[in-house]
Structure formats: structure tokens, C-alpha cells
Amino acid sequence: MNEPKPPAPGAANRPHRDRPDPNRPTPNDPARPAGAGGPLRNQAGVGQLRQRQSAQPGGRPQGQGQGMRPQGQRAGGQGQGAGGQRAQGGGQPRKQPARRPPGPPIRLETANYVVRSIEHGDVNEDYRDWTHDQEIMAGVNSAPTQMTIEDMHKYVDRFDNRNSFHFGIFDKNAGNRMIGFYVIYRDRRHNLAQTNVVIGDKNYWGKAVVLETRSAVLDFLFDVVKVGKIWGNPMVRNIRSVFNYKAQGFVAEGVLRRHRVDPDGKRVDQVMFGLLPEDWERQRKILAETGKLPQEPKK
Amino acid sequence: MNPADRARKLLAEALEVDPAQLPADASVTTMQEWDSLAHLRLIEAMERELSGELPPEMVVSIGSLDDVVRVISERALA
């Protein structure tokens, strides 16, 4: 969400949201891991994913030069770059590798929410309006966008459910209405995941939605996708986002001074948070023991 | 008031609990009352109490009662 265009709905999070990769060509995108085990995980969804991953060459990093970028992948990015240049120089056209089809949709479940891959049918006026909302977008250090429903369908299509994920957050206690979303990218070379989250419905701010739902996402990324680390980089003054990282055991690895420019043109500090599998394993136990992670639906 | 007492008072007000109910090991992980909005209230109260915006390294370091005591102590020495 840091770049002005195209205004993607997924890059930032508001009071609860993480930072997009500053180097990413698309604006507004987060990434984050999840694991297995525990009541937060949807067994059916995880099983599906395991099947999917076993069918692909390993969920392993595949030597792409620069992490994973949905746009590049969509355009047949793997195998392009250096390979493509060699083919040109050698005079013989090199056959482009077939584009790998997207993985099946992912579905995770917590006590109160379903977190699942967003489909075209989920893109509605509420979702569109979140990206137009100055207050929501300010939380992710982005200016409001002018995306249309059609723009958002194209945006949704960019995620491959293998190395990039766009998850909606649906409230089970409110007719499965979507209240926010995640954007997750996996860097295959280094096997990292970055997540961003936006809680679009302001009635849910301060309701621990991120703490509950991101726990499922962390489980998924660590236990199923098997990433080696998850990271996020909110603005330092996005206090609620900083809180969420700390509550989930992320370690502040460094402050990037005046590293970003906010929508008003002011330079602002950013913080790098990282989470290793052992950090999450330890923190998850503590959260379960202290009851901060809901195990039962809200009354 | 010493830093420990100031920290306890500020945190209790932010969490909207009785200071006497604050456990010594209070943290973002252990206390139900310590949610994102309470955290925001805490940082704002600390900055009012300490007369200025906290440095970014301090802001991101606060996650427990001990951290609040430490920041207040360090700011008092600055």
C-alpha cells in the first residue's frame, strides 16, 4: 500500500495492518505465515493445501531471483529474466515454461471467523469503499484509491494461492459477512512470508480480530506452507498495528528511520518485525494459556 | 512518585483496571484488558506524562509493565 498506483486493496492495514514491501511494484501488499495445529486451523482446508503442496515441486524455494511477485509469476515470470535473455542471445527462441495454474482456494477457521481466499463474488461495495476511505487507508500509510469493482476483480486474480494469497475475514456471527482482508506474499528464494491486514469494518476495530485471525494465518504459513520466517513492517506510529505484532510474539528487529513518506508528505519511521517458528510456537502456547486467543465463539 | 509507581498508575489507567489488580508480570500477552486500544491509550498517556513523543525505539519496545518502568526511568535520566 505504499505506492500510489495501482491502488491495491491489500497492501496496508489500518489500526490492524502490516506493511507492504517497499520494493514491490504493486501498492499495498502484506504477507505472513501460518501453521498447523490447534483449534484455529481448519482441518479440511489444511488437508487440501497439503495435497496441493505435495503435488507441486515441494513448496520449496525455486531459485527465482527476486522472491515472489504475483504479477511476474502471472506473466510467466519464472524462467524469464536471465533465461529469456540467454535465449535471445543464442538465436534460438527458448520455449517459455507453462505457467503453473493457481492452487486451490484456502480456507482457515477460528472461533469467530473464517479466513479464506477471496473470490470475485466477495468483492462488493463495502470492500471497494474501504479502499476509498481516508481513515482506513491512512492506517496503512496510503492515500485513498479510486478502484472500481472491475479493478478489484483483476486484483483478486493476481493471487495464485501458492506464493501469494488474498484472504477475506468473514464473521461467522454476522452471517459470514466480510469485515477485512489479508494480503500475503511468500518470497520463495528465502522462504519468507510477509503479511498485511486491513480491518475495513470500523465496528471491528479494537475487537482483537487480528490477534485471532492472524494466529490462524501464522499457523498456516509455518505449518503448511513451511516458511522459515514471517515479517511485517508497520509504521512506528501505527500503534495498534505495532501492538498486534508484539502480542503475537514478533520481535522488533530494527527501526528504519524516516523510511517512508506518509500520504501528507511527511517522512515517518518504520519498524521491522520478524517472527521465527520457535517464537510463534512459544507465543501461541502463552496466548492459549492466558485465554487471549478465543477458543470458543463469542456469545 | 518513583518510576515503578508512575508506570503502574499509567498502565492501570490505560487498561481501565485498579492499579492493585495489575500483576507484576503484566504484559500484552497475559492481560485480556491490554488490547490495541488500551495500548494506544498507554502510549498517549506516557507521552503526556513524559512531555513529548517517545523515540521510535521506545515505542516499539513497550509490551509489559516492566517495559513501561524502564522507559519512564530512561526518560527521567535523559
Judged by a CB distance cut-off of 8 A, whether residue A254 touches chain B is no
Residue with cell 499509567: B10
Decide if A283 and B29 are in contact by the 8 Å CB cutoff.
yes
Give DSSP secondary structure letters for A225-271.
I--SEEEE--BTT-HHHHHHHHHTT-EEEEEEEEEEE-TTS-EEEEE
In angstroms, rounded to a whole number, what is the distance separating the alpha carbons of residues B50 and A120?
50
The predicted model scores a pTM of: 0.75
Architecture of domain B3-77: Orthogonal Bundle (1.10)
pLDDT of chain A along its 299 residues, tens only? 333 333 344 444 333 444 444 334 343 433 333 333 333 333 333 334 443 333 333 333 233 222 233 433 333 333 333 333 344 445 566 777 677 788 999 999 999 999 999 999 999 999 999 989 988 877 677 788 888 999 999 999 999 999 999 999 999 999 999 999 999 999 999 999 999 999 999 999 989 999 999 999 999 999 999 999 999 999 999 999 999 999 999 999 999 999 999 888 899 999 999 999 999 999 999 998 888 888 777 66
Query: Which residues on adjacent β-strands are paired with residue A20?
Result: none
Residue type, A84: G
Interface residue ranges in chain B relative to chain A, Cβ cutoff 8 Å: 28-32, 34-37, 39-40, 43, 56-57, 59-63
Judge contact between A270 and A235, C-beta under 8 A: yes
In angstroms, rounded to a whole number, what is the distance separating the alpha carbons of residues A161 and A53?
11
Q: What pLDDT does residue B78 have?
A: 62
Decide if B36 and A257 are in contact by the 8 Å CB cutoff.
no
Judge contact between A234 and A51, C-beta under 8 A: no
Decide if B37 and A246 are in contact by the 8 Å CB cutoff.
no
Chain A and chain B share a number of CB contacts under 8 A equal to 62
Please give the ipTM for the structure prediction. Answer: 0.95
**Residue A27 DSSP SS3:** coil
Nearest-Å Rg of the Cα atoms of chain B is: 11
> Cell numbers of A140, please?
496503512
> Cell numbers of B8, please?
503502574
**Where does residue A291 fall: left (phi above 0), alpha (psi -120 to 50 degrees), or beta otherwise?**
left
DSSP letter for A224, please. I
List of domains in chain A: 43-59+101-228 (3.40.630.30)
> Cell numbers of A284, please?
501461541
In angstroms, rounded to a whole number, what is the distance separating the alpha carbons of residues A250 and A239?
14
What are the boundaries of each domain within chain B?
A: 3-77
In angstroms, rounded to a whole number, what is the distance separating the alpha carbons of residues A287 and A107?
22
Q: Compute how many other C-beta atoms are within 10 angstroms of the C-beta atom of residue A255.
A: 19
